[in-house]
Amino acid sequence: MPAGNGTPRFVKRTPASDRKAIIVAEHVRKTYRSSDGRSHLALAGVTAQIGRGEVLVVFGPSGSGKSTFLRTLNALEKIDSGRIVVDGVSISDPGADLNRLRSEVGMVFQLFNLFQHRTALDNVILPQIVVRRRPRAEALRRARELLEKVGISDRAGHYPSQLSGGQQQRVAIARALAMDPKVMLFDEPTSALDPETVTGILDLMKDLAAEGMTMAVVTHEMGFAREIADRMLFMDGGLIVEEGSPQQIFQTPRQERTKEFLRQIL
Amino acid sequence: MGSQALACRSGMERGGIAVQHYLDVIVAILPFLWAGFVQTFLVSLVAIAAGSVLGFLIGVVRSQRVPLLHQLFGLYIHVLRGTPFLVQLYIFYFVLPNTGIEALQWSSETAAFVSLSVYTSSYVAEIVMAAIDTVPKGQWEAATALGFKRLPILALVVLPQALKLTVPPMSGVYVNIIKNTAILSVIGISELTRQGEISILRFPSDVLFIYGVIALVYFVYCYPVLRFTRWAEHKVGGTRVVNLD
């Protein structure tokens, strides 16, 4: 098994239906309105669940709504209708404490989005102090620990502009983990990386999965999906077209659209 | 040949007399120019300080696109930027007192400070908003996703990055403000230009010379600020220039 740092996946995962879901999305609809009055239906009624400890891979052509769907799960995008429940709290309710929710849901972006005016170490410390209200010494200890874990401790004092894409993404993952999230959302985390650094980030994510982290990953990396996904969602036109285990999706896809897309990218 | 030497010597004598004359004029007007410069310095400093604080607040509020406030402050900025400062000054000094409201019966100093500060704030507000808008949206998103509230995002993530971007265009505005203090002479503020005009009444034949000295004093004040702009542009890197017109 080519997993990063040789960590084996000893946890045999139970099917999602048998676990209590950490995220439930029901009939989620989302329309983008541009300033010239045109509107685009990004999500046309999406219903999906993520179980605790599950690794869910979402894939599909660009414009299919997969990133939008991921971004509705921590309320980065407001939804028009439907319901999203995270860890028992309905976040689509008007009174929901979104900041609290978001601190429980880690997110990793395609373009890393590190704070440009802070060093790698400070990027991991700042949210702990501001959001988690940890004492500085504790935040510092945790930050060093996490930078070590993601393999970038030798660059702790560097600013994001002095780091490569892969290094920045490692820091971004450490920053998200510093909040001790219950679930991690990855929005095309390797799409902006050089091919040779992609593997390192994917290995890091495999390690996280092996530790039992709940993850929802939007990605085009089908080899990665085949290896670590418990379940896959294929999205197109703002809808979930097909859902199943990697084995089923890759070997016996039921929908014509899924077959066609897989033919194109594999 | 003898007559040529004579002409040359008398020319030198004339030159010597002229230099002596200009030195006399400078010595005579220097205390007044100094007093004028101090006044110019103080007015511009107050306008820059008060205008920057006011403009900063307006720019931050406007960057948040709060429905009604955004348009209201937009109107404020565009009216101030779209009218001559001289007209604004007249309105503050001559028109507002005519409303009969006690609180608007300002002295010329108050009118000068307030009008120049308000004028400054309109430019600063635009620069601050533009700088905040320049900070990539991903910075907001990352902080939001981590659970930051809006104010901590502004204070800890966006503003530290945005304020750096305001330095080069801001110093351009400051030079503009320093030069605009000359207009305050029309309402009797005894700043540099006003003091120069008084000096010209004493030495009417030296108009060109006295205005030249005044221009030099303005230049000596403004040039370091302009140099600072160039240095800051270099230091901060490619920042878009905010048009002053």
Domain count along chain B: 1
Contact A76 B144 (CB under 8 A): yes
With an 8 Å Cβ cutoff, are B142 and A102 in contact?
no
What pLDDT, in 10s, does the model give residues A3-19? 444 444 444 444 444 45
Contact yes or no for A115 and B141 at CB 8 A: no
pLDDT the model gives residue A8: 45
Residue among B141, B146, B164 whose CB faces A127 most closely: B146
* A179 lies within 8 A of chain B by CB: yes
**pLDDT tens, position by position, A114-170:** 999 999 999 999 999 999 999 999 999 999 999 999 999 999 999 999 999 999 999
Helix (H) or strand (E) holding A58: strand A55-59
Q: Is B164 on the interface with A (CB under 8 A)?
A: yes
Whether residue B145 and residue A111 make contact (CB cut-off 8 A), yes or no, is no
Q: Is residue B67 part of a domain?
A: yes
In a domain, B97, yes or no: yes
Nearest residue in chain B measured CA to CA from A107? B145
Selected for mutation to probe chain B from A117, A123, A186 (highest B CB count within 10 Å) is A117
State percent of chain A over pLDDT 90. 81
* pLDDT of the residue at A3: 41
What digits encode the pLDDT tens for the residues A171-220? 999 999 999 999 999 999 999 999 889 999 999 999 999 999 999 999 99
Beta-carbon contacts of B223 under 8 Å, excluding residues fewer than 6 positions away, are none
Residue B81, both tokens: 């930027």
Task: Report yes or no on B44 lying in a domain.
Answer: yes
Q: What is the pLDDT of residues B98-108, one digit of tens each?
A: 888 877 888 88
B18 domain-assigned: no
A111 touches chain B (CB under 8 A): yes
B136 at interface of A, judged by CB pairs closer than 8 A = yes
Q: Cβ of B148 and A176 within 8 Å?
A: no
Distance from CA of A247 to the nearest CA of B (A): 33
Return the residue of B nearest to A73 by Cα.
B145
**A44: part of which helix (H) or strand (E)?**
strand A39-51
Element (H, E) at A23: strand A21-33
Give pLDDT, residue A134.
Answer: 96
Could you list the pLDDT tens digit for every one of the 245 residues in chain B? 455 555 555 656 666 778 888 888 888 889 999 999 999 999 999 999 999 999 999 999 999 999 999 999 999 999 999 999 999 999 999 888 888 887 788 888 889 999 999 999 999 999 999 999 999 999 999 999 999 999 999 999 999 999 888 888 888 899 999 999 999 988 888 889 999 888 999 888 889 999 999 999 999 999 998 888 778 777 765 444 444 43
Tell me the CATH number at B182.
1.10.3720.10
Quote the pLDDT of residue A36.
84
- Structure tokens, B202: 């004493």
| Torsion angle defined by CA atoms of residues A85, A88, A94 and A100, in that order, rounded to the nearest 10 degrees | -100
Angle in degrees, 0-180, between the axes of helices A195-210 and A165-177, rounded to the nearest 10: 20
* pLDDT value of residue A2: 43
Interface confidence, given as ipTM, is 0.88
Q: What is the pLDDT of residue A4?
A: 42
Give the model's pLDDT for residue B237. Answer: 52
Q: Is residue B124 in some structural domain?
A: yes
- Among chain A residues, the shortest Cα distance to B162 is held by A117
Q: Tell me if B116 is assigned to some domain.
A: yes
What digits encode the pLDDT tens for the residues B191-214? 899 998 889 998 888 899 999 999
Q: How far is A103 from chain B (nearest CA, A)?
A: 4
Asked if residue B220 is part of any domain, the answer here is yes
> Mean pLDDT, to the nearest integer, of A37-44?
90
Residue B178 belongs to a domain: yes
Cβ-based neighbour number of residue B72 at 10 Å = 14
The whole model's pTM is what?
0.82
In terms of residue numbers, what domain contains B222? 29-236
Cβ of A99 within 8 Å of Cβ of B148? The answer is: yes
pLDDT computed for residue B11 by the predictor: 59
